[in-house]
Structure 1
Amino acid sequence: MCKKIFVLLLVFSTQFVFAQTDMLKDFPKGYTPEEVGKRLAYRFVDSKHALHAGKWISYPETFYWNGSLKFAAITKDEKLLKLLQNKFNLLMESEKELLPIKNHVDLNMFGSLPLELYQITKEKKYKDLGMPYADTQWQVPANAKPEEKAWAEKGYTWQTRLWIDDMYMITIVQTQAYKVTGDKKYIDRAAKEMVMYLDELQRPNGLFYHAPDVPFFWGRGNGWMAAGMAELLRYLPEDNADRPRIMEGYRTMMKSLKNYQRPSGMWNQLIDEPDSWAETSGSAMFTYAFIIGVKNGWLDANEYAPAARKAWMVLTHYIDEKGGVSEVCVGTNKKNDKQYYYDRPRRTGDYHGQAPYLWCAVALLEK
């Protein structure tokens, strides 16, 4: 009798977990990842470049492009893929001057884009373009500053800044290089870098200061960290020595984010400040990290699937009729001034916000 009850309880609990996971599959019309992703991805096709320092393709554009490509691939939208590929090919032809140089964490991450194209198309020219961006991130230039050389001597990239933004910028290009080559050195050094950032910047509440000298829990900055850990853990081999530490940091952060989620499903520009405004780019990044965690079994589906669903549903309300995401914090440098983060301008259609929505849409569509 006891054995029969145990079996029934096990079956019920398993079905309940599946039901919770299904919360990330069935959405009403207007909220489906297919609809949302299509609106945002096609918007990018005709959008203007967003240039770094007015010269080179910026990281927000790179991520918007990347998200659109992933969406085209997972939905098998050949028309969209061709439009995106044609737009990119201009960078290898008439727009070569817009290709980022390789001397900064925000520029080297561009390599993740041609490496994504290579994985989709298998055209070698994209791999040849992308790999130097990953390699030069660990090749110390002759004119490197003493502090940059010091980081390199410890096995870290010379581009280390200890800004939490870096933990998506660095990990995305190194992870892509690993996926393309199968060479573990790329994923191993990304993991080593991540552990150092965790040790330096994660606070007891699970969140991250923007930098050691900027003790504020900025939304999108924490979003870069959340998405960066999720992306890295997806591909980091199980036997990697740094994996347990990264998983610990990830789960600690996810627990804190769940506690700070607003009743609406959003998160604030300053996560721990109740009077701060709800910001979309960081909220979408946290949602992405939740979705990936639930789907990979790192997070309890009973707790996190409902939170992820609530967040996705409310995020769709911030998309206008033209596919522009509103309430996006503009590009933000670090500053040891809390009011600075409160006062950051908000924009609609800013690429910082468009990309994370597409990451969520793709993650929801993945099996």
Structure 2
Amino acid sequence: MSMKNQFKELAERVFHRMIDAPASDWGMDIEKWDWVPGVGVISILAYGQLAGDPKAIDYLRQWTERNRHKSDQVKVINSMAPYAIFPALYRITGERWYLESATKIGDWMLSEAPRTREGAFEHTVTEEAQFSEQAWADTLFMAVIFLARLARLTGDSKYAKEAEFQLLVHLRLLQDPETGVLFHGWNGAEGNHMSAARWARANAWVLLASPWIAEEINDLTQLSEEILERYQQLAAGLRQYQRESGLWNTVLDQPEFAEETSGSAGIAAGWLAGIRKGWLDHTYKEAVRNTLQGVKKYIDLEGTVQGVSGGTPVMPNIPAYNQIPCYPTLYGQGLVLILLSLAHAGQAAE
């Protein structure tokens, strides 16, 4: 079997594990409206488009029909993720509901979503918790990808300009000038990075989201050169922390911490997305191939991705990140699915 076909076979197995999960498997519960199923459906869309699997697109249409009534029940930044599939589904189906719902929520984000004093979207969540004045790396993937796709769908530059601003302000607030990698979060009120953890999955969200966002808004607004410079610094910085296994530790600069699959897959997928965008050169491909070999070892025969750390807020200190339990999750499946889909599309096999 060729390498590309291996990636496709693995991707299909990971995809079916996501959509066939029993209701009791709470880490894989896709029948909700929040960030976890949001990452799931975003990755299924990427798989459908990159691997050419029509079953994925059919599934997303059915998923939206089942869950559309839940979309108005929550309006927080972290639950914007499912809307990221709406522009593509509108193009495919022509159903006005997708366009009208996306525009409505996009306008809410521009005019009502809470922000930090720097203008970054405050990381609001569905749980009973408040993170006042906090900007998290997760937001670029969970909310700004959608805003960028809405911009391209409507041709309205107001969404594009906001997406560009959010990308730039998050990079400015979160990037460590010494290493180039990102801290998990920023507290605008206190003016610090809280526990100052260089968390692997935070870096993955941003490394992957940034070229995706830029690709959508290129024709609608001028992209700051600072974004590209910071992105390349981030990509290069992450190379320094890659382990011999091809993976990264849960916290990048803590070699005694466990290696973590979802963040590792997301970083490698981000490198491939950067190459595809023309932001990174092909020297990253060898590092991506190492990650693919490492990640494959964590995919069991049923397509379950192991070694995924659980949902993680900005923890009070760095040792607390090593206490997060590992279990299979939709976002773990999703980041691996995106990596495999990009690899199948030829980005890593050349």
Question: 2:86 aligned with 1:114, yes or no?
Answer: yes
For residues 15-164 of structure 1, the aligned pairs below 5 Å read 27=3, 32-47=6-21, 56-92=32-68, 96=69, 98-99=70-71, 101-140=73-112, 148=114, 151=117, 157=121, 161-164=134-137
Root-mean-square deviation (CA), in Å?
2.7
What residue in structure 1 maps to residue 173 of structure 2? 200
Structure 2 counterpart of 1:123, one-letter code: E
What residue in structure 2 maps to residue 355 of structure 1? 334
Structure 2 counterpart of 1:67, one-letter code: S
Q: What's the secondary structure of 2:73's corresponding residue?
A: coil
Separation in 2, partners of 1:66, 1:106: 14
Q: 2:323 aligns with which of 335, 338, 343?
A: 343
Contact 2:152 2:217 in 1 (8 A): no
Of 40-49 and 350-359, the range deviating more from structure 2: 40-49
- Post-superposition offset of 1:43: 2.1
Q: 2:227 aligns with which of 218, 235, 246?
A: 246
Structure 2 counterpart of 1:36, one-letter code: L
Of 79-88 and 177-186, the range deviating more from structure 2: 79-88
Identity of aligned residues (%): 23
Question: 2:313 aligned with 1:333, yes or no?
Answer: yes
Contact 1:207 1:253 in 2 (8 A): yes
Report the CA distance shift for 1:43/1:149 in structure 2 as closer, same or farther (over 3 A).
Answer: closer
Report the CA distance shift for 1:255/1:28 in structure 2 as closer, same or farther (over 3 A).
Answer: same
Separation in 2, partners of 1:188, 1:366: 30
Contact 1:281 1:352 in 2 (8 A): yes
Separation in 2, partners of 1:191, 1:365: 29
- Post-superposition offset of 1:183: 1.5
- Post-superposition offset of 1:155: 5.7
Q: What's the secondary structure of 1:162's corresponding residue?
A: strand
Structure 2 counterpart of 1:75, one-letter code: A
Separation in 2, partners of 1:35, 1:55: 25
Contact 1:279 1:329 in 2 (8 A): yes
Contact 2:167 2:227 in 1 (8 A): yes
Contact 1:156 1:189 in 2 (8 A): no
Q: 1:181 aligns with which of 147, 150, 154?
A: 154
What residue in structure 2 maps to residue 16 of structure 1? none
Separation in 2, partners of 1:59, 1:194: 19
What residue in structure 2 maps to residue 22 of structure 1? none
Structure 2 counterpart of 1:64, one-letter code: G
- Post-superposition offset of 1:266: 0.5
Separation in 1, partners of 2:220, 2:108: 26
- Post-superposition offset of 1:129: 2.6
- Post-superposition offset of 1:230: 2.5
Give the structure-2-normalised TM-score. 0.84
Report the CA distance shift for 1:101/1:172 in structure 2 as closer, same or farther (over 3 A).
Answer: farther
Q: What's the secondary structure of 1:43's corresponding residue?
A: helix
Structure 2 counterpart of 1:189, one-letter code: E
Q: 2:265 aligns with which of 264, 284, 293?
A: 284
Aligned length: 326
Structure 2 counterpart of 1:334, one-letter code: V
Separation in 2, partners of 1:137, 1:37: 33
Separation in 2, partners of 1:323, 1:233: 31
Contact 1:100 1:107 in 2 (8 A): no
